[in-house]
Structure 1
Amino acid sequence: FFEGYCNSSLEVCEGRDIKGLYKKARAGIIPNFTGISDVYEAPENPDINIDTGNKGIQECIDEIIDFLSNNGVISSNFAHDLEVDELYDFDEQLAKDAKELEFIEIDEERVELLHVLADGWAGKLKCFMNELELLETLHFKTVTAKDNQRYLQSVPITCHVTADEASRCKGQSRIALRHKKTSEVLAVLEKPTFYANRKEEIASRLFGTQSKLHPKVERIYEEGDFLVTGDRLTVIARILYNDGLDDYRLSPNAIKRLVKEKGADCIYGFQLRNPLHSGHVMLLNSTRDQLMARGYSNPLLLLHP
């Protein structure tokens, strides 16, 4: 049991009085009315104190949900966190020191996965997967975080290295992750550890085949023989693709800020791999119309190409 206090001043309560009860109480029509003709006793030590007079509706909702989540009443899977953890640190000294470290080279796909981790899209996953996380993802489609909560995760996020790289970097306290194409140092991995790249098992679990005729399976077999993880991953450079679309690649935190700035009361999303055509536009317009009909005033489209 938790005691909650919806705290607001008498002036705020009267301003919200759509039934006119406070007005009747002040006129003496309603006797013994709390706060007007009778004493109001505020709770001395409430478990949660919501300042409804100075905070908006969504702020109050977020505060209550966070409180319930932190106290184990609801699963943290449903917590409306205002911010997600990002892995960026643009300290100049850190970037300078990283250039002197032993390094591994990461290909374009690994750069994209690094971007996913850095922006916080992978939820509680803060580094490339260790062996236990990889096996849990392959067999159970989940990953267990440090808070012992299990989160849905169906796609492995791993970083492969060659045997030579594993041998060269083994025992190092820190190593750098360098873009294979541009030679730019993008991240620093602390206390790296290496384990076998289970190519056959990964291919079988993900795609149901070990045949190299499958294009993704073929790429898996072309990977290095080891996977690397570590105690901490720090991304020291903004990951850019210089394709004219970098400004549109928003992080979860950036999207949440944009939603608030635009005052959206509802978000509807659409993911596609092709350019928008008339059928897509008709579907999106219909969705917006249906949301408006349900009472939403400012639906916002989140489009994921």
Structure 2
Amino acid sequence: MSDAMQVFDRALVRRRRERAAAGIGAVRPVLEAAAERLLDRLDDTTRRFESALEIGGRGSVAPMLTARGIPFVASMDLSPAMARGAGGLAVAGDEEWLPFGAGSFDLVVASLSLHWVNDLPGALVQIRRALKPDGLFLASLPALGTLQPLREALGTAESELRGGISPRVSPFPELRDGASLLQRAGFALPVADRETLDLRYRTPLALLRDLRAAGEGNAVLAADRRTPPRALFPLALSRLPAPGDGLPVALQMLVLTGWAPAPSQPQPARPGSANARLADALGTVEHKAGDPTRPH
């Protein structure tokens, strides 16, 4: 992987998730709510799944998959401690180098875990290869707009105190990027949509504590690693909107759904193979290009 593709410090991500493993219960309600939104997509298919891999679920995804009757569930995490407590067969592994053979699973789920991957297209290709034909991939990632007030408050405060800005909140993908990522990775029937999880915190400091408890500290390589000014976080947090009933935080989730290609799936018709005209179906008159009688 070229240096230009290195956005995140993966070793730092692993260390932070390792430290967060013991206290992950503090944020379990948020993780479970996000996982439920994602796994609702399973209700839209009659496909029965026998072997599932969940990536980075932090103890929220594997129990839900088991409760849905899936007999074999493996839980993979960059952090060995997080993998051990996830609820499935524990596998310590890297999303950028999946340790599984082709066709190992018929379901792969990644709930809020792929946003720290440097080569996301490459990781999606490996996930698709790990699926059996007609296997399903479900993923959610924080989308553009998540933590935007915090990003802006930190940037403004740091600019005032230091005269410059260091990235302190991870960059997130846009909705329009989702389907194209799945197509590039070779998934069939790709779908990208958005889910919003509305949260509320008593204080801005409580939000920072939850991010730390989830192992979601800043791991951007370009971040300034110097000790921040003592006034940085108090100044930034004082500028966040905090009405009397708490600080509203919208977790915007990009939800990806794709299938591993299989001959049994619906295929697009060959060009020219239609046996009915669109004009007839719409009850209108067909005009050729350049026809002077064509309405304008």
Which TM-score bucket, shorter chain as reference? Answer: under 0.3
Q: TM-score, normalised by structure 2?
A: 0.20
Q: Which has the higher contact order (CA 8 A, sep 6+)?
A: 2
Q: TM-score, normalised by structure 1?
A: 0.20
Task: Choose 1 or 2 for highest CA Rg.
Answer: 1
